[in-house]
Structure 1
Amino acid sequence: MSKIKTLKDKKSPIRVASHQPEQIRETRKKLFEIQKKYQAKNIDTKLKGDKLVFTGSGSVYKEKIGTPTAEEVISGDSVNIPVCSGNQVEDNGNRFSSHAITVDSYRKVRESVIEILRLPNVVSASHNVLAYRFTSKDGTIHEGSDDDGEYGAGRALLSTFDEHGIQNALVVVSRWYGSKIGPRRFRHIKEAGISALKKLPGSG
Structure 2
Amino acid sequence: MRIIENIISDRGSKYAVSGAPCSSEDEAKRLVKELCRKKKYAKATHNTWGLLTEAGPVKNDDGESGAGMVILRMLEREGVQDHLVVVTRWFGGKHLGGDRFRHVQEAVRIYLEDLRG
TM-score w.r.t. the length of structure 2 is 0.86
Q: Is residue 117 from structure 1 mapped to residue 42 from structure 2 by the alignment?
A: no
Larger strand proportion of the pair: 2
User: Equivalents in 2 of 1:194, 1:115: separation in Å?
Assistant: 23
SS of 1:86's equivalent in the other structure is: strand
Q: 1:196, CA displacement in angstroms?
A: 2.2
Q: Is the contact between residue 52 and residue 76 of structure 2 (CA under 8 Å) also seen in structure 1?
A: no
Identity %, equivalent residues? 31
User: Equivalents in 2 of 1:194, 1:85: separation in Å?
Assistant: 14
Q: Is the contact between residue 22 and residue 28 of structure 2 (CA under 8 Å) also seen in structure 1?
A: yes
- Counterpart of 2:111 in structure 1 is 196
- Counterpart of 1:184 in structure 2 is 99
Q: Where do 4+ consecutive residues of structure 1 move more than 3 Å?
A: 197-200
Q: Is the contact between residue 169 and residue 197 of structure 1 (CA under 8 Å) also seen in structure 2?
A: no
User: Equivalents in 1 of 2:88, 2:51: separation in Å?
Assistant: 15
Residue 174 of structure 1: which of 88, 92, 102 is its match? 88
Structure 2 alignment gaps of length 5 or more: none
TM-score w.r.t. the length of structure 1 is 0.52
Residue 154 of structure 1: which of 68, 74, 79 is its match? 68
Q: Is the contact between residue 95 and residue 177 of structure 1 (CA under 8 Å) also seen in structure 2?
A: yes
Bigger RCO (CA 8 Å, 6+ sep): 2
Q: 1:170, CA displacement in angstroms?
A: 0.7
Rg larger in structure: 1
User: Equivalents in 2 of 1:94, 1:176: separation in Å?
Assistant: 5
Q: 1:106, CA displacement in angstroms?
A: 3.0
- Change in 2 beyond 3 A, CA 1:115/1:145: same
User: Equivalents in 2 of 1:162, 1:146: separation in Å?
Assistant: 16
Structure 1 alignment gaps of length 5 or more: 1-82, 136-140
Residue 102 of structure 1: which of 15, 18, 21 is its match? 21
Deviation per CA, 1:143-169: give whole Å up to 9, x if none.
Answer: 111111111111112111022221111
